[in-house]
Amino acid sequence: MIIIANSISISRSDGSLHESSPRRSGTLCRLTGSALSVLILGAILAGTATASTPGCPDCPDWVNFNEWWDKYHTGSNQADSGSSTGDLREQALKSRSQNEDSETVNAEYAYPELIFHPGDDLDGRVLLDARSPSDYEKGHLSGARNLYWRSLKPAGSLEPEVAVEELCRLGVNETDSIVVYGNGDDSAYLFWALECLGHSNLSRLDGNVEAFSSLDLVQNSPEPEESNYTSAARQGLLVNESMLDQAQESLGVQIVDTRSSFSDYATSRISNSMYVKTSDLYSDPEARTLKSAGELETLFSGRGLDEEKVQMVYGTPEACTLYFALRTMGYRATVLDGEWWQNTDYRVSSIS
């Protein structure tokens, strides 16, 4: 059985799918097509796909991604500590680490206004609860309207027309200042969906609403009058097959799998994709609050995410959590929603 893990080695491109952060110039433009350089990290593996194989130290452990990554992607494991070359390499790595630590301590979110925290003033905001109707009925923030994230993708991926109809039903206007909330990935999906519609005055409540005892939940629901919501769709934020075709040939795009199981990545993934586990984005796994800017920057750089490139993330709704984290840090990101990529020629497997 052969297991191969692909990682992308990409040079800078001027292709962009998202508005640039203050640290970058340029606006939305088409992806450029160019040759993709692929670095093969894997090797021949005999045994099952549930764990790394003795005698094959570079083979991934498809069960524990973080442990495998930390073990085989640190300088101390690669250097020969018994040689002068190894000593010098370790000293250089230590020096670089110290410099990076000092930089990330002072790091800030590029767009802190995207994040609301429990206790922040919500007066004048339209609150949208992304949870299921049953969870909403058990208790929600006062004045919140229920927009279940799954209702926006009846056929498996986001349908903007359906989203507009739902917003009209809930009496939402395009000029409203919206704060979405829920239980992690669901609110991140709703945040991304509204950005796809072009809603600009938009934020997300950090963490799981049910995890904070300080938040008062009520059961009475508002009855707003129907609106005439008008969208200004941002085409580049919802990936279609043509965009995936271009991404495979672009040096400016990093394709990122975010599904919770690393073994799913081994079994079936988009070719030339890398892997980021979204649970690593949380400072509190239960409350699902986002890590600090410095911690996110360390995580992103450590996983090889490049702020000069576009991150095409997939594996929704988890992908939308990474999308949101990348947005707060000023990265450019877009989302491939649904499982339709499984039926394309870009589906590959590390198990045969």
Grouping H, G, I as helix, E, B as strand and the rest as coil, residue 5 is coil
**Domains held by the chain: number:** 2
| Mean pLDDT (whole number) for 236-259 | 96
Q: What percent of the chain has a predicted confidence (pLDDT) above 90?
A: 65
Grouping H, G, I as helix, E, B as strand and the rest as coil, residue 245 is helix
Same domain, 247 and 222: no
Closest to 246 measured CA to CA, from 121, 130, 96, 346:
346
Last residue of a domain, one of 194, 217, 235: 235
Closest to 209 measured CA to CA, from 138, 281, 280, 296:
138
Task: Please give the residue range of the domain that contains residue 149.
Answer: 122-235
Predicted confidence at residue 207, as pLDDT, reads 94
Which token pair is 50?
A: 């549930």
| Mean pLDDT (whole number) for 234-249 | 94
User: If 0-12 CB within 10 Å is exposed, 13-18 middle and 19+ buried, where does residue 185 land?
Assistant: buried
* Whole-Å CA distances, 145 to 56, 151, 153: 53, 14, 18
Same domain, 100 and 247: yes
The whole-model pTM stands at 0.77
Which stretches within the chain are classed as H helix?
65-72, 75-78, 84-105, 133-138, 160-169, 185-196, 241-248, 262-267, 293-302, 318-328
Band of pLDDT at residue 235, cut at 50, 70 and 90: confident
* Tens digits of residue pLDDT in 176-224: 999 999 999 999 999 999 999 999 999 999 999 999 988 999 999 999 9
Predicted confidence at residue 213, as pLDDT, reads 87
Question: When comparing pLDDT for 13 and 301, which is higher?
Answer: 301
| Mean pLDDT (whole number) for 317-323 | 98
Same domain, 43 and 131: no
Any idea what the CATH number is for the domain that residue 294 is in? 3.40.250.10
Q: What percent of the chain has a predicted confidence (pLDDT) above 70?
A: 70
Weakest-pLDDT range from 13-27, 82-96, 128-142, 244-258:
13-27
Last residue of a domain, one of 235, 254, 276: 235
Closest to 256 measured CA to CA, from 235, 281, 234:
281
Question: When comparing pLDDT for 266 and 22, which is higher?
Answer: 266
Predicted confidence at residue 350, as pLDDT, reads 84
Predicted confidence at residue 56, as pLDDT, reads 52
Distance of CA 259 to the CA centre of its chain: 10
Give every CB contact of residue 259 below 8 A, 6+ residues apart in sequence.
Answer: 265, 315, 318
Same domain, 158 and 141: yes
| Mean pLDDT (whole number) for 325-351 | 96
| Strands in 211-344 per DSSP E | 217-218, 253-257, 269-270, 273-275, 282-284, 289-290, 310-314, 332-336
Domain assignment of residue 128, yes or no: yes
Cβ proximity of 259 and 321 under 8 Å: no
Last residue of a domain, one of 235, 261, 276: 235
* Tens digits of residue pLDDT in 14-61: 444 444 444 444 443 444 443 333 322 332 223 333 444 444 555 666
Which token pair is 235?
A: 């085409």
Domain assignment of residue 80, yes or no: no
Question: When comparing pLDDT for 6 and 232, which is higher?
Answer: 232
